[in-house]
Chain A
């Protein structure tokens, strides 16, 4: 496991000016009513990403050491007869990356729907973005 050498500069959202805030209230209300649930989730995830100082996946460069915050959409368990590896798809509202844990069949806590924070080097394999064996940190669920 390689420690990340640089942290991406935290991106903070500047508060909109007061006039915009008043004008945008109606628009924000309509957006909240009309958006799909998944869009609202994505917006929440992006807000969390920038609050924690992590990098959105869409702005990660290839072979960069990154810190990514998101939820696991799917977890794939390999059969007993195959090579032991645990794969999970991590989604952070802007993009998806496949997280591969080599040598493990199952990791307690790595379950679908779980919010996690991973640090590792992001690469591309056959057009898909992958992180191998990252340092992972389980984020607290609301019931914890």
Chain B
């Protein structure tokens, strides 16, 4: 009389086990992927807000504390019109302070690293260039316009720009729009 005891798994058991693992693993990785994606979007928004706020603060400081009047490229003073006849929005702004030092605010590709194609807001003053954002975000639609409430009031400069960031999943943006009254006018 022979006694045969089979201790191994049957094919059916193996198929069921592999099937269960095959269901659980994609679910776990899918969940991980979704959470990662949302975290990345959140971190991107935090960075965009931080850099956008910083750029806004810097532009406000430059315009409020230094700008005496707006000029064209050649350095000739521009008269900001009354609100009924606003000047068209311009992509870069030339201003002069009380000492006649020219400051230029404009959009330019971020210099380093050259492989990163990010635009930043630059401020040129006395042959020095300051970049108001880093290559981690890119700036688009930078625009300036100015007007006055009446002939005797300081010019009000309106600034708009959009902070963009590309993540591996999607592109996200945060718009900025603010007015600054020139105190040095």
A and B physically associate: no
Partner-B contacts on A (CB < 8 A): none
Partner-A contacts on B (CB < 8 A): none
